Chain A
Amino acid sequence: MNSMLDILTASIIGAVLLLVGIKAMDNAVQHFVNHNADAISQNKLSDLNQIIQADLRKMGYGIHEAEVGTIIQTAQPTHLVFLSNLNLDFDYYIHIHGNQHLDNIPDTIEYIIAPFDTVVFIDTSLVLYQISRTVKVTQESIVSGVVGIIANNTVFRYLDQGGEPAPIQSATRMVEVTLVTMNPEIYRSSELLEAGNPGERMNILRRLIQASYWRQTRVISKNLRR
């Protein structure tokens, strides 16, 4: 009888330990996947802002000061086109083509934000947007492609000298770029799956999907009147 009781007790304790172990393993996988998704998201944001920064740094380069109002060609929250003289005196083009591809004609760099994907979580969803970049340099073929995926569609703001939203396009002196990245490839926990309504599910999603942020202001033309 004593042996039977021992076996029963050991089985119960063993079962409890096994359940605790399985739960711990489940939590470990969930944390690992979600942390990894967060780290990937931060990495992608870092890569993306390096590309955008490198382009925006050239904004207005080689454009005459009297034409500062024309540097920004298109000024929308999801669409930016600006002028920059990329082959005015640029080692890269000299290296490839020699001097014949250098000119004094303004070139354009264009950014377009467009819907990319909608990730559905049962009764709620997350929309992702792609950033397309097109560079048109005179005498060169057009370079175009998607440079990144973000989670916000209002990316560009156009500010005047005082940092306030520019009332008209020609008054723009600074461009503010805001980027938010999220990685929806998360571990879908039981809490998420069992949520009672879309609002509750969205709140759980916000806890699970971590966002990374970047907000930078770029002056469209440097002040040369020191």
Chain B
Amino acid sequence: MGTGQSLLTIGALMMISIIILNFYRISNGISSTLDFSRFHMEGLSILTSHIEQLSQYFFDEVSTNIEAEKSLDMFTSPANLGVDPNDQGIIDDIDDLNQVTLADTGISGVIYHIHYDVDYVMIQGDSIVHSNVRQYHKRVTISVCDAFNPPMIYTEQGSSRVRDTLRISTIISYWFYN
């Protein structure tokens, strides 16, 4: 076999190697995308479960007494949103969840971290904005991210995966009727 033929053969082998390498790279990318959507969907289902469970709690510690209408000054002050001293660690109103982080898992076995933030909000123009004083509306923001390394829920930044967070906010308002 002459030098030309040898070079041609080596070139052919290199080309087929590159094609196979690219094929596996693409296939691996598709697997990662499918895994991402799988755990994104499960994370979302767990997140909406936590929002749903919020609806069983009272608006404020003071409204656990349902006998009379409550006014703004009776609600927990913005600085004290969190578990109340008389709750003995048992959550009974929405703002008890402020700054709470807990772990939850779906049937896949992946552990997700759930984090709650609660604040008062008001309407300003056509926007809902944070309020530093008591309002009749509380916003609960729930964030979910997985605890895996490398992350299952992520964003691509360059060639690396950065852990991403799923976040949903819901607003719960106080109302009273006789």
Contacts and interface: CB of A to CB of B under 8 A. Distances in A.
A119 interface: no
Contacts of B38: 38, 42, 210, 212-213
Contact of B108 (A31, A49, A213, A226): A213
A31 to B, nearest CB: 5
A49 B31 contact: no
Interface stretch (B49-57, B113-121, B153-161, B162-170): B49-57
Contacts of A199: none
A17 B12 contact: yes
B55 A222 contact: yes
Which range holds the interface residue count of chain A?
35 or more
Interface string A121-144: 000000000000000000000000
Contact of A223 (B12, B34, B42, B57): B57
Nearest to A45: B41
Contacts of B1: 5-6, 9-10
Which range holds the interface residue count of chain B?
35 or more
Interface in B20-52: 20, 23, 27, 30-31, 34, 37-38, 41-42, 45-46, 48-49, 52
Nearest to B20: A24
Interface of A: 5-6, 9-10, 13, 17, 20-21, 24, 27-28, 31, 35, 38-39, 42, 45-46, 49, 152, 161, 163, 173-174, 176, 178, 180, 210-219, 222-223, 225-226
Given A27-B27, A226-B174, 8 more contacts: A24-B23, A38-B34, A42-B37, A174-B52, A214-B45, A219-B55, A222-B56, A225-B66
